[in-house]
């Protein structure tokens, strides 16, 4: 389910950004990314996203990330190693998988990620997990 079509969109204040590779929603402590069908999410797209996030939130904000995988696309799993750096804007992530194959890919990504990464079966599960992170409470 698209974030905008969910009840969560009615309960949160957010800004929407439409890019060439997908749509993302900027909330107070986290953002939700919905990558377009058939995209390959690589370093260039990640760099564009991070630049946009820093422009919006500033250089000292820490965020959680929710990948709402409503479409089929590929991702370079090595990208997760970027977030091992101390200057990373991301402190945690959740991958919402609606298909078994996407959930299996999330298992591999979890092994490569050095930040906490939750695999979720619904957008609600991911948002609830993010809201419970001690960094935001």
pLDDT tens digits, residue range 17-43?
A: 999 999 999 999 999 999 999 999 999
Give the containing element (helix H, strand E) for 101. helix 100-112
Beta strands in the chain (DSSP E): 15-18, 22-26, 30-35, 40-41, 63-69, 74-75, 90-97, 117-120
Domain boundaries along the sequence of the chain: 3-136
Summarised one tens digit per residue, pLDDT across range 31-85 is 999 999 999 999 999 999 999 999 999 988 999 999 999 999 999 888 887 776 5
Residue among 25, 11, 17, 13 nearest 67 (CA): 25
Q: pTM for the whole thing? A: 0.93
Yes or no: is domain 3-136 CATH 3.40.50.300? no
Give the whole-angstrom CA distance, residue 62 versus residue 91: 6
Give the whole-angstrom CA distance, residue 9 versus residue 86: 31
- Residue keyed to tokens 């409503």: 70
């Amino acid at each position: 389910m698209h974030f905008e079509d969910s009840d969560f969109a009615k309960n949160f204040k957010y800004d929407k950004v439409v890019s060439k590779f997908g749509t993302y929603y900027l909330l107070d402590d986290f953002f939700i990314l919905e990558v377009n069908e058939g995209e390959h999410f690589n370093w260039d797209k990640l760099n564009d996203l991070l630049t946009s996030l820093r422009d919006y939130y500033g250089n000292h904000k820490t965020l959680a990330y929710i990948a709402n995988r409503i479409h089929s696309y590929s991702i370079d799993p090595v990208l997760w190693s970027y977030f091992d750096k101390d200057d990373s804007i991301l402190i945690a992530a959740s991958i919402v998988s609606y298909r078994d194959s996407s959930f299996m890919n999330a298992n591999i990504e979890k092994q490569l990620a050095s930040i906490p990464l939750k695999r979720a079966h619904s957008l609600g599960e991911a948002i609830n997990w993010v809201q419970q992170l001690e960094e935001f409470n």
